A = this chain, B = another copy of it.
Amino acid sequence: MHDFTYYNPTKIEFGKNKENNIGHYLQEAGIQKVLLTYGMQSIKNSGLYGKIISSLEKANIKYVELSGVMSNPLLSKVREGIKLAKDENVEAILGVGGGSVADNAKAIAAGALYDGDVWDFFTKKAEITKALPIYTVMTLAASASEMNGNSVITNDETQQKYSIGSIHVNPTLSIINPELMMSVTPEYLAYSAVDVIAHSIEVYLTASSHPTYNAMFVESIIKSVMHNTEILLEDPSNYEARGEFAWVAIQALNGLAPAGTQGGSFPNHLIEHSLSALYNVAHGAGLAVVIPAWMQWYHTKNPKQFERFAQEIFGVQSADEGIQKLKEWFEKIGAPTTLEALHIPRDAIANIAENASETAKVWGMQDLYTQENITQILQKA
Protein backbone atom coordinates (compact mmCIF):
# COMPACT_ATOMS: atom_id res chain seq x y z
CA MET A 1 0.00 0.00 0.00
CA HIS A 2 1.45 3.28 -1.13
CA ASP A 3 0.79 6.36 1.03
CA PHE A 4 -2.28 8.32 0.04
CA THR A 5 -4.73 11.00 1.05
CA TYR A 6 -8.38 10.22 0.44
CA TYR A 7 -10.74 13.14 0.74
CA ASN A 8 -14.00 13.42 -1.14
CA PRO A 9 -16.46 15.80 0.52
CA THR A 10 -19.05 15.81 -2.30
CA LYS A 11 -22.53 14.98 -1.08
CA ILE A 12 -24.52 12.70 -3.41
CA GLU A 13 -28.29 12.94 -3.40
CA PHE A 14 -29.38 9.84 -5.28
CA GLY A 15 -32.93 8.98 -6.21
CA LYS A 16 -36.21 9.79 -7.84
CA ASN A 17 -37.33 13.41 -8.08
CA LYS A 18 -34.36 14.72 -6.13
CA GLU A 19 -33.85 17.42 -8.78
CA ASN A 20 -36.94 19.10 -7.39
CA ASN A 21 -34.99 19.82 -4.18
CA ILE A 22 -32.14 21.72 -5.82
CA GLY A 23 -33.49 25.09 -4.73
CA HIS A 24 -33.86 23.82 -1.20
CA TYR A 25 -30.28 22.50 -1.09
CA LEU A 26 -28.93 25.84 -2.32
CA GLN A 27 -31.08 27.73 0.17
CA GLU A 28 -29.84 25.52 3.03
CA ALA A 29 -26.29 26.51 2.07
CA GLY A 30 -27.20 30.20 2.19
CA ILE A 31 -26.81 30.67 -1.56
CA GLN A 32 -29.01 33.36 -3.11
CA LYS A 33 -27.85 33.61 -6.72
CA VAL A 34 -26.44 31.01 -9.10
CA LEU A 35 -25.14 30.70 -12.62
CA LEU A 36 -27.22 27.95 -14.21
CA THR A 37 -25.31 26.27 -17.03
CA TYR A 38 -26.45 23.52 -19.40
CA GLY A 39 -26.17 22.22 -22.92
CA MET A 40 -28.64 22.56 -25.72
CA GLN A 41 -32.36 21.96 -26.00
CA SER A 42 -32.57 18.51 -24.43
CA ILE A 43 -33.20 19.58 -20.83
CA LYS A 44 -35.93 21.92 -22.08
CA ASN A 45 -37.54 19.20 -24.17
CA SER A 46 -37.46 16.71 -21.30
CA GLY A 47 -39.06 19.12 -18.85
CA LEU A 48 -36.03 19.05 -16.55
CA TYR A 49 -35.27 22.73 -17.18
CA GLY A 50 -38.76 23.67 -16.02
CA LYS A 51 -38.39 21.60 -12.85
CA ILE A 52 -35.06 23.22 -12.00
CA ILE A 53 -36.36 26.75 -12.58
CA SER A 54 -39.45 26.01 -10.53
CA SER A 55 -37.35 24.65 -7.67
CA LEU A 56 -35.03 27.68 -7.76
CA GLU A 57 -37.94 30.10 -7.79
CA LYS A 58 -39.70 28.33 -4.96
CA ALA A 59 -36.56 28.77 -2.86
CA ASN A 60 -36.08 32.39 -3.96
CA ILE A 61 -32.78 31.60 -5.64
CA LYS A 62 -31.95 34.12 -8.37
CA TYR A 63 -30.22 32.79 -11.48
CA VAL A 64 -28.50 33.78 -14.68
CA GLU A 65 -28.08 31.30 -17.51
CA LEU A 66 -25.27 30.05 -19.68
CA SER A 67 -26.51 27.55 -22.24
CA GLY A 68 -24.88 25.96 -25.25
CA VAL A 69 -22.24 23.87 -23.48
CA MET A 70 -21.17 21.18 -25.94
CA SER A 71 -19.58 17.79 -25.42
CA ASN A 72 -15.81 18.29 -25.39
CA PRO A 73 -16.55 21.61 -23.66
CA LEU A 74 -14.75 24.65 -24.96
CA LEU A 75 -12.58 27.23 -23.27
CA SER A 76 -14.46 30.02 -25.06
CA LYS A 77 -17.66 28.96 -23.32
CA VAL A 78 -15.85 28.76 -19.97
CA ARG A 79 -14.56 32.32 -20.45
CA GLU A 80 -18.07 33.49 -21.31
CA GLY A 81 -19.29 31.87 -18.08
CA ILE A 82 -16.55 33.41 -15.97
CA LYS A 83 -17.40 36.88 -17.27
CA LEU A 84 -21.07 36.29 -16.53
CA ALA A 85 -20.33 34.92 -13.06
CA LYS A 86 -18.19 37.93 -12.22
CA ASP A 87 -20.53 40.52 -13.74
CA GLU A 88 -23.54 39.04 -11.99
CA ASN A 89 -21.83 38.25 -8.67
CA VAL A 90 -23.24 34.75 -8.53
CA GLU A 91 -22.45 32.71 -5.41
CA ALA A 92 -22.45 29.24 -6.95
CA ILE A 93 -22.42 27.43 -10.28
CA LEU A 94 -25.20 24.96 -11.03
CA GLY A 95 -24.54 22.57 -13.92
CA VAL A 96 -27.45 20.57 -15.32
CA GLY A 97 -26.41 17.93 -17.85
CA GLY A 98 -23.63 15.40 -18.36
CA GLY A 99 -19.92 15.39 -17.65
CA SER A 100 -19.22 18.20 -20.10
CA VAL A 101 -21.61 20.50 -18.31
CA ALA A 102 -20.10 19.56 -14.95
CA ASP A 103 -16.57 20.13 -16.26
CA ASN A 104 -17.64 23.49 -17.67
CA ALA A 105 -19.20 24.45 -14.33
CA LYS A 106 -15.98 23.59 -12.49
CA ALA A 107 -13.77 25.63 -14.78
CA ILE A 108 -16.10 28.61 -14.41
CA ALA A 109 -16.19 28.17 -10.62
CA ALA A 110 -12.39 28.29 -10.42
CA GLY A 111 -12.03 31.08 -12.96
CA ALA A 112 -14.64 33.26 -11.29
CA LEU A 113 -12.38 33.69 -8.25
CA TYR A 114 -9.15 34.17 -10.21
CA ASP A 115 -7.82 37.41 -11.62
CA GLY A 116 -5.71 35.81 -14.35
CA ASP A 117 -6.67 33.65 -17.33
CA VAL A 118 -8.41 30.41 -16.33
CA TRP A 119 -6.32 28.50 -18.90
CA ASP A 120 -3.34 29.03 -16.55
CA PHE A 121 -4.81 26.28 -14.34
CA PHE A 122 -4.88 23.84 -17.26
CA THR A 123 -1.32 24.53 -18.37
CA LYS A 124 -0.17 24.29 -14.71
CA LYS A 125 1.02 27.90 -14.74
CA ALA A 126 -1.22 28.56 -11.72
CA GLU A 127 -2.76 26.43 -8.98
CA ILE A 128 -6.41 26.55 -7.99
CA THR A 129 -6.69 27.76 -4.39
CA LYS A 130 -10.40 28.54 -4.30
CA ALA A 131 -13.56 28.26 -6.35
CA LEU A 132 -17.24 29.05 -6.11
CA PRO A 133 -19.33 26.15 -4.79
CA ILE A 134 -20.49 23.80 -7.55
CA TYR A 135 -23.80 21.95 -7.71
CA THR A 136 -24.76 19.47 -10.40
CA VAL A 137 -27.90 17.70 -11.61
CA MET A 138 -26.73 14.87 -13.82
CA THR A 139 -28.44 13.59 -16.96
CA LEU A 140 -25.66 11.24 -18.08
CA ALA A 141 -23.48 8.83 -16.12
CA ALA A 142 -19.93 8.34 -17.32
CA SER A 143 -17.41 10.96 -16.29
CA ALA A 144 -17.83 10.79 -12.51
CA SER A 145 -17.28 14.53 -12.71
CA GLU A 146 -20.19 14.79 -10.29
CA MET A 147 -17.98 13.39 -7.51
CA ASN A 148 -14.44 14.43 -8.29
CA GLY A 149 -12.28 17.48 -8.77
CA ASN A 150 -11.46 16.89 -12.44
CA SER A 151 -12.40 19.02 -15.42
CA VAL A 152 -11.30 18.59 -19.02
CA ILE A 153 -11.61 21.57 -21.33
CA THR A 154 -10.62 22.05 -24.96
CA ASN A 155 -8.92 25.28 -25.92
CA ASP A 156 -10.66 26.05 -29.20
CA GLU A 157 -7.86 28.37 -30.29
CA THR A 158 -4.96 25.98 -29.78
CA GLN A 159 -6.75 22.59 -30.04
CA GLN A 160 -5.28 21.58 -26.69
CA LYS A 161 -7.56 19.38 -24.55
CA TYR A 162 -6.17 19.77 -21.03
CA SER A 163 -7.40 19.02 -17.54
CA ILE A 164 -7.40 20.27 -13.99
CA GLY A 165 -7.65 18.29 -10.78
CA SER A 166 -8.36 20.14 -7.55
CA ILE A 167 -10.33 19.45 -4.40
CA HIS A 168 -11.60 23.04 -4.69
CA VAL A 169 -13.75 22.08 -7.67
CA ASN A 170 -15.26 18.93 -6.20
CA PRO A 171 -18.99 19.60 -6.39
CA THR A 172 -20.53 20.48 -3.06
CA LEU A 173 -23.60 18.44 -3.95
CA SER A 174 -24.61 16.34 -6.95
CA ILE A 175 -28.06 15.04 -7.71
CA ILE A 176 -28.26 11.64 -9.41
CA ASN A 177 -31.74 10.65 -10.49
CA PRO A 178 -31.48 7.60 -12.77
CA GLU A 179 -34.82 8.52 -14.36
CA LEU A 180 -33.17 11.61 -15.85
CA MET A 181 -30.77 9.30 -17.69
CA MET A 182 -33.31 7.10 -19.40
CA SER A 183 -33.38 9.13 -22.60
CA VAL A 184 -29.64 8.66 -23.23
CA THR A 185 -29.26 7.21 -26.75
CA PRO A 186 -27.87 3.68 -27.20
CA GLU A 187 -24.77 5.22 -28.80
CA TYR A 188 -24.08 7.47 -25.83
CA LEU A 189 -24.85 4.67 -23.40
CA ALA A 190 -22.19 2.59 -25.15
CA TYR A 191 -19.71 5.48 -25.10
CA SER A 192 -20.45 6.01 -21.43
CA ALA A 193 -19.83 2.35 -20.66
CA VAL A 194 -16.48 2.56 -22.45
CA ASP A 195 -15.58 5.69 -20.50
CA VAL A 196 -16.32 4.01 -17.17
CA ILE A 197 -14.29 0.97 -18.20
CA ALA A 198 -11.47 3.30 -19.24
CA HIS A 199 -11.52 5.03 -15.85
CA SER A 200 -11.44 1.61 -14.23
CA ILE A 201 -8.58 0.05 -16.17
CA GLU A 202 -6.16 2.95 -16.54
CA VAL A 203 -4.59 2.68 -13.08
CA TYR A 204 -5.49 -1.02 -12.75
CA LEU A 205 -3.36 -1.89 -15.78
CA THR A 206 -0.54 0.65 -15.36
CA ALA A 207 0.21 0.85 -11.63
CA SER A 208 3.57 -0.56 -10.58
CA SER A 209 2.02 -1.48 -7.24
CA HIS A 210 -1.65 -2.40 -6.99
CA PRO A 211 -3.26 -3.98 -3.89
CA THR A 212 -5.51 -7.00 -4.50
CA TYR A 213 -8.45 -5.28 -2.85
CA ASN A 214 -8.25 -2.45 -5.38
CA ALA A 215 -8.24 -5.01 -8.16
CA MET A 216 -11.42 -6.66 -6.84
CA PHE A 217 -13.01 -3.24 -6.38
CA VAL A 218 -12.26 -2.25 -9.99
CA GLU A 219 -13.37 -5.62 -11.35
CA SER A 220 -16.70 -5.24 -9.54
CA ILE A 221 -17.20 -1.90 -11.28
CA ILE A 222 -16.33 -3.32 -14.71
CA LYS A 223 -18.58 -6.36 -14.25
CA SER A 224 -21.44 -4.17 -13.10
CA VAL A 225 -21.09 -1.68 -15.94
CA MET A 226 -20.96 -4.43 -18.57
CA HIS A 227 -23.92 -6.27 -17.09
CA ASN A 228 -26.07 -3.16 -16.75
CA THR A 229 -25.14 -1.80 -20.19
CA GLU A 230 -26.46 -4.99 -21.74
CA ILE A 231 -29.68 -4.72 -19.75
CA LEU A 232 -30.14 -1.07 -20.72
CA LEU A 233 -29.56 -1.65 -24.42
CA GLU A 234 -32.54 -4.01 -24.30
CA ASP A 235 -34.60 -2.09 -21.76
CA PRO A 236 -33.59 1.60 -21.57
CA SER A 237 -36.04 2.46 -18.81
CA ASN A 238 -34.88 -0.23 -16.39
CA TYR A 239 -34.50 1.84 -13.23
CA GLU A 240 -32.37 -0.64 -11.30
CA ALA A 241 -29.87 -1.01 -14.13
CA ARG A 242 -29.83 2.73 -14.82
CA GLY A 243 -29.25 3.38 -11.13
CA GLU A 244 -26.48 0.85 -10.68
CA PHE A 245 -24.79 2.11 -13.84
CA ALA A 246 -24.92 5.67 -12.52
CA TRP A 247 -23.50 4.74 -9.14
CA VAL A 248 -20.65 2.54 -10.40
CA ALA A 249 -19.71 5.22 -12.95
CA ILE A 250 -19.07 7.46 -9.95
CA GLN A 251 -17.14 4.79 -8.05
CA ALA A 252 -14.77 4.38 -10.99
CA LEU A 253 -13.33 7.86 -10.63
CA ASN A 254 -14.05 9.27 -7.18
CA GLY A 255 -10.59 8.52 -5.80
CA LEU A 256 -11.26 5.12 -4.24
CA ALA A 257 -9.88 2.92 -7.03
CA PRO A 258 -6.31 4.29 -7.00
CA ALA A 259 -6.06 4.70 -3.20
CA GLY A 260 -2.93 2.82 -2.12
CA THR A 261 -1.69 2.12 -5.64
CA GLN A 262 1.52 3.52 -7.04
CA GLY A 263 2.69 4.57 -10.46
CA GLY A 264 -0.64 4.49 -12.29
CA SER A 265 -1.33 6.77 -15.22
CA PHE A 266 -4.05 7.56 -17.78
CA PRO A 267 -2.51 6.84 -21.20
CA ASN A 268 -5.80 6.06 -22.93
CA HIS A 269 -7.25 9.36 -21.83
CA LEU A 270 -4.04 11.08 -22.84
CA ILE A 271 -4.30 9.83 -26.41
CA GLU A 272 -8.08 10.12 -26.69
CA HIS A 273 -8.01 13.76 -25.64
CA SER A 274 -6.05 14.51 -28.80
CA LEU A 275 -8.49 12.54 -30.95
CA SER A 276 -11.45 14.48 -29.64
CA ALA A 277 -9.61 17.82 -29.55
CA LEU A 278 -8.72 17.48 -33.22
CA TYR A 279 -11.75 15.57 -34.53
CA ASN A 280 -14.45 16.37 -31.96
CA VAL A 281 -15.42 12.71 -31.60
CA ALA A 282 -17.36 11.68 -28.51
CA HIS A 283 -14.90 10.95 -25.69
CA GLY A 284 -16.18 7.41 -25.13
CA ALA A 285 -16.10 6.65 -28.84
CA GLY A 286 -12.49 7.80 -29.01
CA LEU A 287 -11.63 5.68 -25.99
CA ALA A 288 -13.18 2.57 -27.58
CA VAL A 289 -10.74 3.01 -30.47
CA VAL A 290 -7.69 3.78 -28.34
CA ILE A 291 -8.11 1.17 -25.58
CA PRO A 292 -7.72 -2.09 -27.57
CA ALA A 293 -4.83 -0.56 -29.52
CA TRP A 294 -3.10 0.64 -26.38
CA MET A 295 -3.67 -2.69 -24.64
CA GLN A 296 -2.06 -4.60 -27.52
CA TRP A 297 0.91 -2.26 -27.40
CA TYR A 298 1.28 -2.19 -23.62
CA HIS A 299 0.33 -5.58 -22.18
CA THR A 300 3.80 -7.10 -22.17
CA LYS A 301 4.90 -4.35 -19.76
CA ASN A 302 2.49 -5.63 -17.07
CA PRO A 303 1.61 -9.20 -18.10
CA LYS A 304 0.30 -10.45 -14.75
CA GLN A 305 -2.33 -7.76 -14.39
CA PHE A 306 -3.45 -8.16 -18.01
CA GLU A 307 -3.84 -11.89 -17.40
CA ARG A 308 -5.80 -11.18 -14.24
CA PHE A 309 -8.06 -8.85 -16.23
CA ALA A 310 -8.63 -11.52 -18.88
CA GLN A 311 -9.46 -14.16 -16.26
CA GLU A 312 -11.61 -12.09 -13.94
CA ILE A 313 -13.62 -10.18 -16.52
CA PHE A 314 -13.92 -12.68 -19.37
CA GLY A 315 -12.90 -16.03 -17.90
CA VAL A 316 -10.18 -16.47 -20.52
CA GLN A 317 -6.55 -17.19 -19.78
CA SER A 318 -4.26 -15.00 -21.84
CA ALA A 319 -3.86 -11.23 -22.07
CA ASP A 320 -4.37 -11.44 -25.83
CA GLU A 321 -7.69 -13.21 -25.46
CA GLY A 322 -8.81 -10.69 -22.83
CA ILE A 323 -8.00 -7.78 -25.11
CA GLN A 324 -9.81 -9.45 -28.00
CA LYS A 325 -12.87 -10.11 -25.82
CA LEU A 326 -12.99 -6.49 -24.67
CA LYS A 327 -12.75 -5.26 -28.25
CA GLU A 328 -15.55 -7.64 -29.25
CA TRP A 329 -17.66 -6.38 -26.38
CA PHE A 330 -17.13 -2.78 -27.46
CA GLU A 331 -18.28 -3.80 -30.95
CA LYS A 332 -21.24 -5.71 -29.56
CA ILE A 333 -22.56 -2.63 -27.73
CA GLY A 334 -22.04 -0.49 -30.82
CA ALA A 335 -18.86 1.38 -29.97
CA PRO A 336 -16.31 2.01 -32.76
CA THR A 337 -12.96 0.25 -32.44
CA THR A 338 -11.04 1.61 -35.41
CA LEU A 339 -9.97 5.07 -36.55
CA GLU A 340 -11.83 4.32 -39.76
CA ALA A 341 -15.09 3.94 -37.86
CA LEU A 342 -14.50 7.44 -36.44
CA HIS A 343 -13.85 8.74 -39.98
CA ILE A 344 -10.33 9.71 -39.01
CA PRO A 345 -7.89 9.20 -41.92
CA ARG A 346 -4.76 7.18 -41.25
CA ASP A 347 -2.57 10.02 -42.43
CA ALA A 348 -3.84 12.04 -39.46
CA ILE A 349 -1.99 9.74 -37.05
CA ALA A 350 1.20 11.81 -37.05
CA ASN A 351 -0.71 14.95 -36.19
CA ILE A 352 -2.70 13.28 -33.40
CA ALA A 353 0.46 11.74 -31.99
CA GLU A 354 2.21 15.10 -31.98
CA ASN A 355 -0.72 16.73 -30.17
CA ALA A 356 -0.84 13.89 -27.61
CA SER A 357 2.91 13.98 -27.04
CA GLU A 358 2.54 17.64 -26.04
CA THR A 359 -0.16 16.67 -23.50
CA ALA A 360 2.17 13.93 -22.26
CA LYS A 361 4.69 16.61 -21.30
CA VAL A 362 2.05 18.48 -19.27
CA TRP A 363 1.00 15.22 -17.58
CA GLY A 364 4.60 14.13 -16.88
CA MET A 365 4.25 11.05 -19.12
CA GLN A 366 6.66 12.10 -21.87
CA ASP A 367 9.21 9.35 -21.19
CA LEU A 368 6.98 6.54 -22.40
CA TYR A 369 4.46 8.48 -24.47
CA THR A 370 6.71 9.97 -27.12
CA GLN A 371 5.32 10.90 -30.51
CA GLU A 372 6.86 7.71 -31.89
CA ASN A 373 5.24 5.45 -29.33
CA ILE A 374 1.86 7.12 -29.64
CA THR A 375 2.13 6.68 -33.40
CA GLN A 376 2.80 2.97 -32.89
CA ILE A 377 -0.27 2.69 -30.67
CA LEU A 378 -2.54 4.53 -33.11
CA GLN A 379 -1.32 2.40 -35.98
CA LYS A 380 -2.87 -0.59 -34.19
CA ALA A 381 -6.24 1.22 -34.11
What residues of chain A have their CB less than 8 Å away from a CB belonging to chain B? 1-16, 18, 178, 211-213, 216-217, 219-221, 223-224, 227, 239-240, 243-244, 247-248, 251, 256, 259-260
Contact B6–A11 (Cβ < 8 Å): yes
Contact B260–A243 (Cβ < 8 Å): yes
Instruction: Given A6-B14, A7-B12, answer yes or no on A1-B216 (Cβ-Cβ < 8 Å).
Output: no
Instruction: Given A1-B14, A3-B18, A12-B5, answer yes or no on A244-B211 (Cβ-Cβ < 8 Å).
Output: yes
A-B contact pairs, 11 of them (CB 8 A): A1-B178, A4-B12, A5-B13, A8-B9, A211-B247, A213-B224, A213-B247, A213-B248, A216-B223, A217-B217, A243-B260
Residues of B within 8 A of A11 (CB): 5-7
Copies in the complex: 2
Report the minimal beta-carbon distance from A180 to chain B, rounded to whole angstroms: 13
Report the minimal beta-carbon distance from A336 to chain B, rounded to whole angstroms: 27
Instruction: Given A7-B12, A11-B7, A213-B220, answer yes or no on A1-B247 (Cβ-Cβ < 8 Å).
Output: yes
Report the minimal beta-carbon distance from A135 to chain B, rounded to whole angstroms: 14
Instruction: Given A3-B15, A6-B11, answer yes or no on A224-B244 (Cβ-Cβ < 8 Å).
Output: no
Residues of B within 8 A of A13 (CB): 5
With beta carbons under 8 angstroms apart, the residue of B7, B14, B212 that contacts A260 is B14
Contact B18–A14 (Cβ < 8 Å): no
Bound complex: CA A179 to CA B124 (Å): 35
Bound complex: CA A217 to CA B13 (Å): 20
Bound complex: CA A18 to CA B6 (Å): 13
Report the minimal beta-carbon distance from A289 to chain B, rounded to whole angstroms: 27
With beta carbons under 8 angstroms apart, the residue of B6, B212, B243 that contacts A1 is B243
Bound complex: CA A251 to CA B214 (Å): 11
Residues of B within 8 A of A223 (CB): 216
Bound complex: CA A9 to CA B15 (Å): 20
Bound complex: CA A217 to CA B212 (Å): 13
Closest to A8 in B: B8
Bound complex: CA A116 to CA B16 (Å): 38
Q: Which 10 A-B pairs have the closest CB atoms?
A: A3-B15, A1-B243, A216-B220, A9-B9, A7-B11, A213-B224, A6-B12, A211-B244, A4-B14, A213-B244
Contact A14–B7 (Cβ < 8 Å): no
Counting chain B CB atoms within 10 Å of each CB, the highest count among A2, A6, A243 belongs to: A6
Closest to A223 in B: B216
Residues of B within 8 A of A251 (CB): 256
Report the minimal beta-carbon distance from A193 to chain B, rounded to whole angstroms: 14
Report the minimal beta-carbon distance from A113 to chain B, rounded to whole angstroms: 20
Residues of B within 8 A of A239 (CB): 1
Closest to A239 in B: B1
Bound complex: CA A243 to CA B211 (Å): 9
Contact A259–B247 (Cβ < 8 Å): yes
Residues of B within 8 A of A259 (CB): 14, 247
Bound complex: CA A5 to CA B173 (Å): 10
Bound complex: CA A10 to CA B220 (Å): 24
